[in-house]
Homo-oligomer: A and B are copies of this chain.
Amino acid sequence: MIRTRLPRRALAALVLAALAAPAARAQSPDPLPSWRDGPRKRALLDFVAAVTTEGGPGFVPPPERVAVFDNDGTLWVEQPAYTQLLFILDRIRQLAPANPGWAGEPIFAAAAAGDLHGALAEGTAGLLRLAGAAQAGNTPEAFQRLAADWLATARDRRWNRPYTALVYQPMLEVLALLRARGFTSFIVSGGGVEFIRAFAEQVYGIPPHRVIGSTFALASGEGDGRIVLTREPRVDFVDDGPGKPVGIARHIGRRPIAAFGNSDGDWHMLRYTTEGQGRRFGMIVRHDDAEREFAYDRESHVGRLARALDEAPARGWHVVSMRSDWLRIFPD
């Protein structure tokens, strides 16, 4: 047995320290330092407090604390074009010399020349052909390496920074806050699943199995006495619009209690989330900051936001103004 003798003063110090502890905790650092104090920040903190307060009316047990995040325009920049589209154009340019037949196809010629507008001239069908040519025919692992290598070297023209540096600091803080409060967060993106998996773990702290996205068909075969999975140039799931609730049900198997999006492509996901019973949270990032980022909504070809914006008040979705709600946009 160990016996110690505490002087009276030491004892008093101990008691005082114990009394001070709750106050110190209440003054713990702001979990959302890049958010301006205001209705959006308060709504977010109130929601998190409500669903994590044991015994409270809004309490949700940790396994059911599922949050879903769109990626393009919600977690990182999507203008002037989706980052994955810029990757596709770079790949087409790189592969063009070995595919002389492409020269006769206007969208391929445009893509190889870095002409974004021309590459998109044939709409979705044309884009899917470009995407297949640029991204299929390899294994998921090989493709992920290609994407990671590109992301490590490519630079956005406006900021001259890697695309992975153009993620939104305020949203990184939301991800960290939810992680600390027992949530499980998923990315639910219209983008290709392997493209996002190539950086999501490092940049967002979201492991590959918590990324849901659009997919190419995978064929299972053999090569060199091993099982080889090959990505075929055929999209077999579009995780956008009405596809998002399907992707969520299929992959997560549980209705989220919080959803974060920025465009009409997230309208179904926001609805599916907030139409569930009990306390729910829907948030839309609105791009209204031309100076620090971009300003676009109804008329944009990328990240069009109209219906979700119009219905936000009635549906109780919180619309974040990047200009006034966010003190900063990017990490240092």
- Interface residues in chain A, defined as those with a beta carbon under 8 Å from any beta carbon in chain B: 1-7, 10, 13-14, 63, 66, 140-141, 144, 184, 186, 193-194, 197, 201, 207-211, 215, 218, 220, 226-227, 229, 242-243, 245-246, 249-255, 268, 271-272, 275
Chain B residues within an 8 Å CB radius of A227 = 245, 268, 271-272, 275
Chain B residues within an 8 Å CB radius of A1 = 10, 13
Cβ-closest chain B residue relative to A1: B10
Chain B residues within an 8 Å CB radius of A251 = 209, 251
Chain B residues within an 8 Å CB radius of A2 = 6-7, 10, 13-14
Distance in angstroms from A286 CB to nearest chain B CB is: 23
Inter-chain CA distance A3–B218, complex, in Å, is 68
Chain B residues within an 8 Å CB radius of A201 = 63
Distance in angstroms from A137 CB to nearest chain B CB is: 15
Q: Tell me the number of copies of this protein.
A: 2
Chain B residues within an 8 Å CB radius of A210 = 209
Structural contact, A229 and B249, CB atoms closer than 8 A: yes
Chain B residues within an 8 Å CB radius of A3 = 7, 10
Inter-chain CA distance A191–B184, complex, in Å, is 25
Chain B residues within an 8 Å CB radius of A66 = 209
Inter-chain CA distance A227–B248, complex, in Å, is 13
Contact of A140 among B63, B140, B193, B253 (CB under 8 A): B253
Inter-chain CA distance A63–B197, complex, in Å, is 13
30 chain-A/chain-B pairs, Cβ below 8 angstroms: A2-B6, A4-B6, A5-B5, A66-B209, A141-B255, A184-B209, A186-B209, A193-B250, A193-B253, A197-B253, A207-B254, A208-B252, A209-B209, A209-B210, A209-B252, A209-B253, A209-B254, A211-B253, A215-B250, A218-B246, A218-B249, A220-B243, A220-B245, A220-B246, A220-B268, A227-B245, A227-B272, A227-B275, A229-B245, A229-B246
Structural contact, A218 and B250, CB atoms closer than 8 A: yes
Inter-chain CA distance A2–B17, complex, in Å, is 12
Chain B residues within an 8 Å CB radius of A215 = 250
Chain B residues within an 8 Å CB radius of A4 = 4-6
